[in-house]
């Protein structure tokens, strides 16, 4: 019997193929690795699964017809995302907005028109498009009657902004349904005779047009430069069921601040609220205080709220589930700095601004993974089953490292998440899955150095640096000098370069080698060292890291030229022996989960 274990990761999909003879210890035949197609845990993964499996089968001189069973990992429900939230508030000019998510908006859809106080509609010209402003003094019966009469008189009433919580009551009495946002307490602040757009989504859904900068640009006929200015507005409205944006003339609204906002953490027995501007350490303390976490939300109308709801919305689109059913089960916050352009500067001057980097991890319905298994089974005509929890499989694979034995803990350092698991002498496994890994390191490097090209940031993360001091020699970051017989590319002269396997890549900007190296190492420490310690705390039988003796590092990030050393050094302070795994004595730290999926066959997950 031939079995293939396939591990779908955030960055790569890995395969292990083995032959079972009379249920004895399996004979491993080959392995394969290919880039994961699509976001981990979605149907798009199937292309990457095929490619990885084919590579492994070609190495073993086998075909798909030779495979009796495929086992895939149970990691599909978990998806990570990252975002930067500046602690200094975002300033928006020449617009005002209402995006407070009232509990009783009325109607549905989007409406555009000029803002008019409802008692002044008799002054509006026939054929005009308007948004009516309804203060507290006008009740729902009068409001609905005035709107119906106005529509009959040939004026297009395309939406309403209401001070009371009368949205549903008004909507029920209208001949022509319109989107209505109510509970706007400071309605006197809403500017009149200004072009406005209002959007209300169906229950369980969120606004789409006004949370998209190009959607706002379409409504207000904005230029590309004006569209840039509304990005913070659209971002803050992500995740809201209703929203209003009003375009005001230059100078009318001096500034409108969107705060970084609060994060609300709901645990199994406790709840905590923390301001993003309190910093990463306080956020992580709050998460530890309520563990285990059931869901994490952001304050509506803020940067944090927009970021966390975007994570939920992305997952919703991929899995066809309602955003409300998707839970964020972990979050990693990291203090950092980001360059911000100085408003009013003469030559694109910028200042370094405090920021918090956030990685969130979403747990969705496990049924999604079963759907992938069913589709694979249909395509290949081979039985496909979902194996055990990813970290549990990684432990089984890690035990094939020469010199390892139970009890053993593993840290699986991937691209989107950091897993940890521990197996005791009796073979019992305890595991945890946490947000934050290689992708977050790339984001922190790019944000702090001001690079929009994530490819450059990824290369800085993966490879060492050097300074080209002449056309014939470079100085490595450890201080050693290397000479060359042939002249180097003139474009690299006097530049800091990334030493990729294929060529030297000059880094844009004027950062020194030491500065870039410091940013890179600090990003890796903030993510991997912090996650290594907090994951081991969660799987330790006593909750104390010091009670763990041996740890092996697995996963793609364990191949990094400095992450294992940083983690090993940090864990040595707890008297823990840690090092990079060597799966089956040939794979290095890769293929642990795929190998574990094969080994777990017939013995339980």
Asked if residue 591 is part of any domain, the answer here is no
Q: How far is CA 249 from CA 95, 193, 196, 253, in A?
A: 8, 11, 12, 8
Percent of the chain with pLDDT over 70: 89
Claim to verify: residue 243 and residue 270 sit in the same structural domain: no
Asked if residue 11 is part of any domain, the answer here is yes
Which of 70-84, 122-136, 170-184, 291-305 has the weakest average pLDDT? 70-84
Which of 38-42, 355-359, 386-390 has the weakest average pLDDT? 38-42
Contact 605, 421 (CB under 8 A): no
Asked if residue 398 is part of any domain, the answer here is no
CA distance 509 to 35: 31
Claim to verify: residue 113 and residue 227 sit in the same structural domain: yes
Contact 123, 192 (CB under 8 A): no
Bridge partners (DSSP) of residue 7 are 14
Asked if residue 590 is part of any domain, the answer here is no
**176 among annotated binding-site residues:** no
The per-residue pLDDT for 251 is 47
The per-residue pLDDT for 6 is 96
**164 among annotated binding-site residues:** no
CA distance 440 to 334: 10
Q: What is the CATH number of the domain that holds 317?
A: 3.90.470.30
Claim to verify: residue 68 and residue 102 sit in the same structural domain: no
- Using DSSP, how many helices (H) and how many strands (E) does the chain show? 16, 30
pLDDT band at 349 (very low <50, low <70, confident <90, very high): very low
**13 among annotated binding-site residues:** no
**38 among annotated binding-site residues:** no
pLDDT surpasses 60 at 87 = no
Q: What is the mean pLDDT of residues 66-91?
A: 65
The per-residue pLDDT for 92 is 46
Q: What is the mean pLDDT of residues 385-390?
A: 85
Q: What is the mean pLDDT of residues 193-217?
A: 89
Claim to verify: residue 244 and residue 120 sit in the same structural domain: yes
> Which residue did the predictor score with more confidence, 10 or 574?
574
Claim to verify: residue 416 and residue 383 sit in the same structural domain: no
Asked if residue 605 is part of any domain, the answer here is no
Contact 260, 304 (CB under 8 A): yes
Claim to verify: residue 245 and residue 200 sit in the same structural domain: yes
Q: How far is CA 580 from CA 8, 10, 526, in A?
A: 21, 20, 20
Claim to verify: residue 61 and residue 96 sit in the same structural domain: no
Claim to verify: residue 508 and residue 472 sit in the same structural domain: yes
Contact 113, 130 (CB under 8 A): yes
The per-residue pLDDT for 367 is 62
**503 among annotated binding-site residues:** no
**Measuring CA to CA, which residue among 292, 342, 353 is closest to residue 89?**
353
Claim to verify: residue 245 and residue 276 sit in the same structural domain: no
Asked if residue 268 is part of any domain, the answer here is yes
Q: What is the mean pLDDT of residues 176-198?
A: 87
Q: How far is CA 187 from CA 114, 136, 320, in A?
A: 15, 9, 37
Q: Quick: pLDDT tens for 468-485.
A: 999 999 999 999 999 999
pLDDT surpasses 90 at 258 = no
pLDDT surpasses 50 at 347 = no
pLDDT surpasses 50 at 77 = no
Place of tokens 């945890």: 432
Claim to verify: residue 333 and residue 321 sit in the same structural domain: yes
Look up residue 130 and give its two tokens: 């308007």
Q: Quick: pLDDT tens for 91-137.
A: 444 555 555 567 678 888 999 999 999 999 999 999 999 999 999 99
Domain ranges, residue 195: 91-255
**556 among annotated binding-site residues:** yes
**461 among annotated binding-site residues:** yes
Q: What is the CATH number of the domain that holds 162?
A: 3.50.30.70
**96 among annotated binding-site residues:** no
**Measuring CA to CA, which residue among 344, 447, 450 is closest to residue 93?**
344
The per-residue pLDDT for 280 is 87
Asked if residue 479 is part of any domain, the answer here is yes
The per-residue pLDDT for 345 is 32
pLDDT surpasses 80 at 350 = no
Q: What is the CATH number of the domain that holds 371?
A: 3.30.420.40
Place of tokens 């290689």: 438
pLDDT band at 524 (very low <50, low <70, confident <90, very high): very high
**Measuring CA to CA, which residue among 247, 217, 208 is closest to residue 110?**
208
> Which residue did the predictor score with more confidence, 450 or 147?
147
Claim to verify: residue 333 and residue 298 sit in the same structural domain: yes
> Residues of 131-153 as b/e, b for ≥16 C-beta within 10 angstroms?
bbbbbeebebeebbebbeebeee
Query: How many CB atoms are closer than 10 A to CB 515?
Result: 14
Look up residue 157 and give its two tokens: 């009433």
CA distance 436 to 411: 13
**458 among annotated binding-site residues:** yes
The per-residue pLDDT for 597 is 95
Claim to verify: residue 312 and residue 373 sit in the same structural domain: no
pLDDT surpasses 50 at 315 = yes
Q: Which DSSP string corresponds to 483-530? A: E-SSPPPGGGTTSEEEE-SS-EEEPSSS--HHHHHHHHHHHHIIIIIH
Q: What is the mean pLDDT of the chain?
A: 86
Per the structure, how many domains does the chain have?
Answer: 4
Residues contacting 306, CB < 8 A, separation 6+: 211, 235, 236, 237, 238, 239, 298
Asked if residue 395 is part of any domain, the answer here is no
Look up residue 51 and give its two tokens: 């490619």
């Amino acid at each position: 019997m031939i079995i293939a274990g396939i591990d779908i990761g955030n960055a790569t999909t890995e395969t292990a193929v083995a032959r079972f003879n009379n249920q004895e210890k399996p004979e491993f035949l080959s392995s394969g690795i290919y880039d994961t197609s699509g976001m981990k845990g979605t149907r798009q993964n199937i292309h990457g699964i095929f490619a990885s499996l084919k590579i492994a089968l070609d190495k073993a001189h086998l075909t798909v017809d030779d495979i009796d069973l495929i086992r895939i990992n149970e990691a599909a429900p978990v998806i990570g995302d990252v975002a930067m939230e500046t602690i200094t508030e975002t300033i928006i000019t020449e617009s005002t907005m209402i995006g407070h998510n009232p509990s009783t908006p009325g109607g549905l859809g989007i409406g555009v028109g000029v803002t008019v106080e409802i008692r002044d509609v008799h002054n509006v010209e026939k054929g005009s498009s308007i948004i009516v402003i309804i203060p507290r003094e006008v009740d729902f019966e009068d409001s609905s009657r005035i709107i119906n009469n106005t529509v009959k008189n040939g004026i297009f009433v395309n939406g309403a902004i209401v001070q009371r919580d009368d949205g549903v009551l008004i909507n029920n009495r209208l001949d022509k349904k319109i989107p209505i946002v109510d509970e706007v307490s400071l309605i006197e602040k809403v500017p009149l005779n200004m072009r406005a757009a209002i959007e209300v989504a169906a229950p369980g859904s969120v606004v789409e047009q006004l949370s998209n900068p190009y959607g706002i640009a379409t409504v207000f006929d904005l230029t590309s430069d004006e569209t840039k200015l509304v990005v913070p507005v659209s971002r803050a409205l992500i995740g809201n069921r209703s929203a209003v944006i009003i375009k005001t003339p230059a100078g009318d609204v001096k500034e409108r601040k969107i705060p970084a906002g609060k994060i609300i953490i709901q645990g199994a027995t406790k709840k905590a609220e923390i301001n993003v501007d309190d910093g990463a350490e306080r956020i992580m303390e709050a998460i530890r205080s309520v563990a285990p976490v059931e869901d994490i939300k952001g304050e509506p109308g803020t940067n944090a709220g927009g970021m966390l709801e975007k994570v939920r919305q992305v997952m919703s689109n991929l899995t066809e589930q309602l955003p409300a059913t998707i839970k964020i089960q972990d979050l990693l916050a990291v203090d950092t700095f980001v360059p911000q352009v100085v408003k009013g500067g003469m030559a694109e001057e910028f200042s370094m601004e405090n920021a918090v980097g956030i990685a969130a991890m979403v747990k969705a319905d496990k049924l999604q993974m079963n759907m992938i298994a069913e589709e694979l089974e249909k395509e290949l005509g081979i039985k496909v089953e979902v194996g055990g929890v990813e970290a549990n499989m990684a432990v089984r694979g890690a035990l094939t490292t020469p010199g390892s034995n139970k009890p053993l803990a593993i840290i699986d350092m991937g691209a989107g998440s950091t897993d940890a698991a521990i197996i005791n002498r009796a073979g019992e496994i305890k595991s945890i899955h946490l947000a934050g890994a290689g992708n977050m390191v790339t984001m922190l490097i790019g944000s702090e150095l001001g690079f929009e090209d994530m490819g450059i940031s990824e290369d800085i993360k993966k490879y060492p640096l050097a300074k080209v001091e002449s056309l014939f020699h470079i100085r490595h970051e450890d201080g050693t000098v290397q000479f060359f017989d042939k002249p180097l590319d003139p474009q690299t002269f006097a530049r800091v370069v990334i030493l990729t396997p294929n060529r030297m890549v000059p880094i844009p900007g004027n950062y020194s080698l030491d500065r870039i190296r410091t940013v890179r190492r600090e990003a890796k420490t903030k993510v991997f060292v912090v996650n290594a310690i907090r994951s081991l705390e969660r799987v330790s039988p006593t909750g104390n890291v010091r009670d763990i003796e041996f740890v092996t590092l697995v996963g793609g990030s364990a191949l990094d030229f400095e992450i294992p050393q940083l983690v090993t050094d940090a864990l040595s302070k707890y008297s823990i022996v840690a090092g990079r795994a060597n799966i089956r004595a040939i794979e290095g730290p890769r293929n642990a989960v795929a190998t574990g999926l094969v080994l777990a066959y017939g013995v339980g997950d």
